[in-house]
Amino acid sequence: MDLEKRYLKTLDWTIILILAGLGVFSYLGISGSAAGVDKAHQQVVWYIVGFIVLGGMLIFDYRLYHNTAYILYAFGLILLIGVFETKPINNTTSWYDLGPVLFQPSEPMKLFTILTVARYMAKRAEDPDRFYYFYKLIPVAALVGVPLLLILIQPDLGTAMVFTGMLATMLIIGGIRLRHALYLFAMVGSFFGAMTLIYEYKQDLFFKIIKPYQWDRIVFWMDPDMDAMGKGFQLKQALIAIGSGQLFGKGIDTPTQASFGWVPVGESDFIFTVIAEKLGFVGAGLLMILFFFLIYRMIRIAMEAKDPFGSYVVAGVVGMLTFQVFENIGMTIQLMPITGIPLPFISYGGSSLVTNFMIMGVVLNIGMRKDKLRFD
């Protein structure tokens, strides 16, 4: 332990204030949804727990996380495998039922994967040929791909997609060659091309690969009016609610579509809809500005980190949060297909919120120890 005054002076207090501001938006969004004030009060408790966890992550030098990365990764894989023996909740085996709380192991696995990939890449940071050959990307892809596939099998497509955002930013910071990036894009494009041909000529096989409910999300994302009171209902109501908020919103205490339950899961996946309806374009815009400054401050920390490991870790976190924010907000305004990705620090949920605070604790830890010790 070495949490001393000289480190507290270099702590990025702006990020702490941003997190507190996000907490206010979280409370307003949850209390304005059909879940009501009781859930919002529970979220306040989780926020208190989250700040305590964040403080705990600052106590130890972040090199401890470097040294234990592989152990944490193995532990996370065990949790992901063990979850398949649990009772399905909402048709997915993604949760451990711990009585008063539900624990989702894929949430901390995000951090464990980032730490592990960062350690692997940092060890090779001085090698100018680390990514010269395409096959050298395979170990990094495997470290991300194994938990991604386990989460995909649960099935939890939304969370699995977050891992691709983490991988992309870490490879960019790691110096992936443009040629190799084009190879990866070509592989992704080939996959979608093959799936298109399979859908056209072998639909039985297609729907063995893609679940019917996943395909419905794409179809009714493109045109929710095809079944406005059925499979397109969620998106349609979200668009109506956001539009009805107009510039300044309907007000915090005004009954709205969200508060009457017309916006499904308004306390979680569609909480941005609730905020936009209550606070309007101005309030929703302010929320996005907070996320922008949070990501900006993290990019600063990544640039000023004293070693490659720190830079890679923060880069992975930036990719993770950026993807989640873009996907969650995008799906509520028909910019992206609907997935079960929560809005970080805003959506209701203990395991997700506390894990995000844990991750921010690691980021702040890297930022506050960016300078080597000097003797006065």
Measured distance CA(354)–CA(57) in Å, rounded: 12
Q: What pLDDT does 3 receive? A: 55
> Per-residue pLDDT tens for 164-206?
889 888 888 888 888 888 888 888 888 888 888 888 888 888 8
CA 294 to chain centroid, in Å, comes to: 14
Residue from 143, 65, 144, 71 nearest 358 by CA: 65
What the block records as the tokens of 100 is 């008063």
Percent of the chain topping pLDDT 70: 96
Q: Is 250 helix (H, G, I), strand (E, B) or coil?
A: coil
The mean pLDDT of the chain is 87
Q: What pLDDT does 366 receive? A: 93
Instruction: Name the helix (H) or strand (E) containing 95.
Output: none
- Residue 28: pLDDT over 80: yes
Band (341; pLDDT cuts 50, 70, 90): confident
Please name the residue ranges forming H helices in the chain.
Answer: 5-8, 13-31, 36-59, 63-67, 69-82, 106-123, 138-153, 157-174, 178-201, 203-209, 212-222, 233-245, 271-304, 308-332, 350-368
Position of tokens 């790691």?
174
CA angle 218, 223, 225 (to 5 degrees): 130
- Residue 312: pLDDT over 80: yes
Lowest mean pLDDT among 49-63, 70-84, 170-184, 252-266: 252-266
Q: What pLDDT does 210 receive? A: 79
Lowest mean pLDDT among 116-125, 183-192, 283-292: 183-192
Measured distance CA(24)–CA(345) in Å, rounded: 10
Q: What pLDDT does 4 receive? A: 60
> Per-residue pLDDT tens for 225-256?
887 777 888 888 888 888 888 898 887 777 66
> Per-residue pLDDT tens for 362-371?
999 999 887 6
